[in-house]
Chains A and B, each alone.
Chain A
Amino acid sequence: MRDGINTAKRGLPSVALVTEDFWPQGNFTAESLGMPSVPRVKLPHPLAGTGQSHLEEVAKRLAPQIIEQLKHD
């Protein structure tokens, strides 16, 4: 979330990728850093360690959402 906000503050298109278990923390961070509406996409949790095929499946499924978010100002 911080990476997404820091990128956005530089004026670059950004989208934060946040797993569902850390979604509330992402909201908290976005609020506390003054960018509550920073674009974000929810990923399943856990993601790390779940295997290459699962990662590829998640990436394929969520890529359109990420691209869609990046289209906005």
Chain B
Amino acid sequence: MTELMQASDEGAALEALHAAGMTDGLPVVIPTPDRVASMVLASGMDADMRLGVMGPAGGVATVEKVAVAAVMAGCLAEHVPVVIAAVQAVLQDEFDLAQMQSTTHCTAPLIIVNGPGRLSCGPIACGFGALGPGHRANASIGRALRLSMINIGGARPGESDMALLGHPGKFSYCLAEDEEHSPFAPMHEGLGFAAEDTVVTVIGAEAPHSVMYSGDADDPQDAQKLLEVLVIGLANMATNNAVLTGGGAVVVLNPEHAKILADAGLDRPAILQRLWELTHYPTERLSYFSAGFAERIKGDTYRCFKRPEDILLLMAGGSGLYSMVMPSWCAGAHQNRYVSQRVELDLYCEIPGLSQS
């Protein structure tokens, strides 16, 4: 049973939540019992159902506690299946959440949504400014996971969350793939799911790094140059991916860049293969910058990624010169693995007055 806080009105309740360190620093919707009960009802799950234990504090993530976070984050009822799935994803052992929450690195959980739930649970934006302000579902879903990590997982800056600076994606970091306009099969199909599944894939990731490339259809090396510049952002010698190696990372192609690669006859596996090959580096380069980290390497070259499929590739954003890459932390027992989780849309229960439709 969740312990209830008392306050004279919602203004006082907000101040009490701020004072208790239970917010992300921004105003929240006050999680009154009625609001939380409605959100639990929308989830179609029992309030006391345990989703797992969330580190580093070891709090038990029940559906009710996640619903509290969803209410505080401003979620609509239809967002809750994605929130639940995102929480389930980060609770998998291979996500290494407790270590990730505690590291000095700036990593934050990036939620990527695929499948029909992008529309029915949102819409979750995948176009212009999808990672920026103005998209309620993206903002609220990502924020609900963060508030869960604060209030169930116990992450407090400088106390248990030791990120030296963090990054703005630690407020919210959620987008969908633009499956309708992508020349490639959806990302979740490449991860072994059916096209009709709704899937969240979560990876601890740095802030998005812009990769500028102005294509030239008259240049026979157009696609190759794009791949090379993507790799510069993805695994340059300032990233953990190039130094610690072995983790995952994300490439978000804009529509123009996706077209350049598709027009060159490259599909998703071929692009991942090329990105993987381009991140095989001379060991002496690592020795120059980080001799201590290079000592473990045997041979003249080393690989930033163990396998091509360790790189997540999706298409999102507006059309223009800029794609995005997100390097990652690469540490923890499972080296910062991404985790995919199917969203249980069948359990969702529409609640009058608590949904957009």
Q: How large is the interface on B (under 10, 10 to 19, 20 to 34, 35 or more residues)?
A: 10 to 19
Contacts A46-B256, A49-B256 given; indicate if A21 touches B217 (C-beta within 8 A).
no
State whether the Cβ of B319 lies closer than 8 Å to any Cβ in chain A.
Answer: yes
State whether the Cβ of A54 lies closer than 8 Å to any Cβ in chain B.
Answer: yes
Find chain B residues with CB under 8 A from A50 CB: 215, 217
Whether B318 contacts A21 by the Cβ 8 Å rule is yes
Min CB–CB distance B219 → chain A (angstroms):
9
Q: Who on chain B is nearest to A48 by CB?
A: B214
Find chain B residues with CB under 8 A from A51 CB: 216-218
Whether B214 contacts A49 by the Cβ 8 Å rule is yes
User: B188-215 vs A: 1/0 string, CB under 8 Å?
Assistant: 0000000000000000000000000011
Min CB–CB distance A51 → chain B (angstroms):
3
Whether A54 contacts B318 by the Cβ 8 Å rule is no
Q: Who on chain B is nearest to A51 by CB?
A: B217
Find chain A residues with CB under 8 A from B217 CB: 49-51, 54
| Dominant secondary structure of chain B at its interface with chain A | loop
| Dominant secondary structure of chain A at its interface with chain B | loop
State whether the Cβ of A32 lies closer than 8 Å to any Cβ in chain B.
Answer: no
List A32-69 residues whose CB lies under 8 Å from chain B: 45-46, 48-52, 54
With a 10 A CB-CB cut-off, give which of A45, A49, A51, A54 has the most chain B CB atoms.
A49
Find chain A residues with CB under 8 A from B218 CB: 51-52
- Bound CA span A45–B315, Å: 17
Find chain A residues with CB under 8 A from B256 CB: 46, 49
Find chain B residues with CB under 8 A from A45 CB: 319
List B283-342 residues whose CB lies under 8 Å from chain A: 318-321
Min CB–CB distance B223 → chain A (angstroms):
12
Find chain A residues with CB under 8 A from B214 CB: 48-49
Find chain A residues with CB under 8 A from B215 CB: 48-50
Q: Who on chain B is nearest to A24 by CB?
A: B128
Q: Who on chain B is nearest to A45 by CB?
A: B319
- Bound CA span A49–B321, Å: 10
Min CB–CB distance B258 → chain A (angstroms):
11
- Bound CA span A21–B216, Å: 19
Find chain B residues with CB under 8 A from A21 CB: 318-319
With a 10 A CB-CB cut-off, give which of A21, A46, A50, A51 has the most chain B CB atoms.
A46
- Bound CA span A51–B214, Å: 11
- Bound CA span A45–B254, Å: 13
With a 10 A CB-CB cut-off, give which of B217, B255, B260, B318 has the most chain A CB atoms.
B217
- Bound CA span A49–B217, Å: 6
- Bound CA span A47–B318, Å: 14
Q: Who on chain A is nearest to B216 by CB?
A: A49
Min CB–CB distance A20 → chain B (angstroms):
10
- Bound CA span A52–B216, Å: 9
Find chain A residues with CB under 8 A from B259 CB: 46
Q: Who on chain A is nearest to B214 by CB?
A: A49
- Bound CA span A50–B345, Å: 41
Q: Who on chain B is nearest to A50 by CB?
A: B217
Q: Who on chain A is nearest to B222 by CB?
A: A49
Min CB–CB distance B57 → chain A (angstroms):
45
Whether B216 contacts A46 by the Cβ 8 Å rule is no
Footprint of B on A, CB under 8 Å?
A: 21, 45-46, 48-52, 54
Footprint of A on B, CB under 8 Å?
A: 214-218, 222, 255-256, 259-260, 318-321
Query: What are 18 inter-chain pairs, A to B, with CB distance below 8 A?
Result: A21-B319, A45-B319, A46-B255, A46-B256, A46-B259, A46-B319, A46-B320, A48-B214, A48-B215, A48-B321, A49-B215, A49-B216, A49-B222, A49-B256, A49-B260, A50-B215, A51-B218, A52-B218
Q: Which 6 A-B pairs have the closest CB atoms?
A: A49-B215, A51-B217, A51-B218, A46-B256, A21-B319, A50-B217
